């Protein structure tokens, strides 16, 4: 059985932190990070506001991201092996039809791109309020550092726009408060996934 989990949400909400905890705990679990698909800086458009437009879907090579996910869907064992992830032997997992393969797709713009909308079996979305987001973001080092004013001029307005867009889609999204402790968020999600997978097997 294949199971694809989306961990979306606002920048610095705690997506990577949660994902890293889950991949350690879940069996045969691979991950695709949306951040790995950012185009190089010279291909990022500059908006009328003078800022490079990093927080839009065009800043990402979404075709490559979709192809990576398709690669996992076609052959999760091969995908895991080529990414250095140990696959449990079939004997440990029971018959092949009971073998679970999990893919976590993590990123800030997961639910705003049509070709990806129906790949997820479960959609999580982490939120934190403006002040906390700005505080966490101010300590974060990206490959390209944020110029002064980027958060208020581009990052936060784009987040609000994309979130509103996402909410008009029919995706069943489970919201998580990124203000809870890392442990609480992990426990909540782990239990949820665990119960869902037990019911499906
Ligand atoms: N539940 C949490 N409570 C407080 N700080 C958190 C929590 N989750 C993550 N952080 C911190 O917030 C920052 C961004 O976390 P990260 O997981 O990289 O976010 P994202 O992948 O959503 O951008 C890091 O410094 C991380 O330690
Ligand atoms: N990884 C990169 O190359 C890069 C460069 C510039 C900005 N960013 C920022 O990354 C953010 C998304 O990633 P997080 O959700 O991990 O914060 C966006 O808000 C974007 O502004 C990433």
Domains in the chain: ranges and CATH: 2-200 (3.40.50.300)
User: Ligand 2: distance of its center to the CA of 9 in Å?
Assistant: 12
Question: For ligand 1, what atom is nearest to the CA of residue 106?
Answer: 21
Classify 117 as helix, strand or coil.
Answer: helix
CA distances from 3 to 98, 122, 189 (A): 12, 8, 14
Atom 1 of ligand 2: nearest residue by CA position: 35
Which ligand has the nearest atom to the CA of 141?
2
**Has 61 been annotated as catalytic?**
no
pLDDT digits (tens, 9 = 90+) for 160-177: 999 999 999 989 999 999
Does residue 142's CB lie within 6 angstroms of at least one atom of ligand 2?
yes
Classify 12 as helix, strand or coil.
Answer: coil
Candidates 35, 55, 121, 192; catalytic one:
35
Instruction: List the structure tokens of 143.
Output: 């490959």
Which of 11, 12, 15 should be mutated for ligand 1, with most atoms under 8 A from CB? 12
- Each of the 201 residues of the chain gets a pLDDT tens digit; together they read 999 999 999 999 999 999 999 999 999 999 999 999 999 999 999 999 999 999 999 999 999 999 999 999 999 999 999 988 878 775 565 676 678 999 999 999 999 999 999 999 999 999 999 999 999 999 999 999 999 999 999 999 999 999 999 999 989 999 999 999 999 999 999 999 999 998 887
How much is the pTM? 0.95
pLDDT at 201: 74
Does residue 17's CB lie within 6 angstroms of at least one atom of ligand 1?
yes
State the Cα–Cα distance between residues 132 and 128, nearest whole angstrom: 6
DSSP 8-state assignment for residue 37: G
End-to-end CA distance of the chain: 8
- Our CA angle for 179, 184, 189, nearest 5°, is 105
Owner of token pair 């995908």? 79
Which of 6, 8, 10, 11 should be mutated for ligand 2, with most atoms under 8 A from CB? 11
């Amino acid at each position: 059985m294949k199971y694809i989990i989306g961990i979306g949400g606002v920048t610095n909400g705690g997506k990577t932190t949660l994902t890293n905890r889950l991949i350690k705990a879940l069996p045969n679990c691979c991950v695709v990070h949306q951040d790995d698909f950012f185009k190089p800086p010279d291909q990022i458009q500059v908006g009328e506001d003078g800022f490079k437009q990093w927080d839009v879907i065009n800043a990402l090579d979404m075709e490559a991201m979709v192809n990576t996910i398709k690669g996992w869907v076609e052959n999760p064992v091969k995908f895991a092996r080529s990414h250095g992830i140990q696959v449990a032997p079939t004997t440990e997992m029971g018959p092949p039809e009971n073998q679970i393969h999990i893919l976590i797709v993590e990123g800030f713009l997961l639910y705003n791109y049509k070709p990806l909308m129906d790949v997820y079996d479960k959609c999580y979305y982490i939120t934190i309020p403006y002040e906390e987001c700005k505080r966490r973001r101010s300590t974060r080092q990206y490959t390209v550092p944020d110029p002064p004013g980027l958060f208020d001029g581009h990052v936060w307005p784009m987040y609000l726009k994309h979130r509103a867009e996402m909410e008009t889609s029919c995706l069943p999204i489970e919201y998580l408060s990124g203000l809870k402790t890392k442990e609480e968020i992990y426990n909540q999600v782990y239990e949820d996934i665990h119960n869902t997978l037990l019911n499906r097997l």
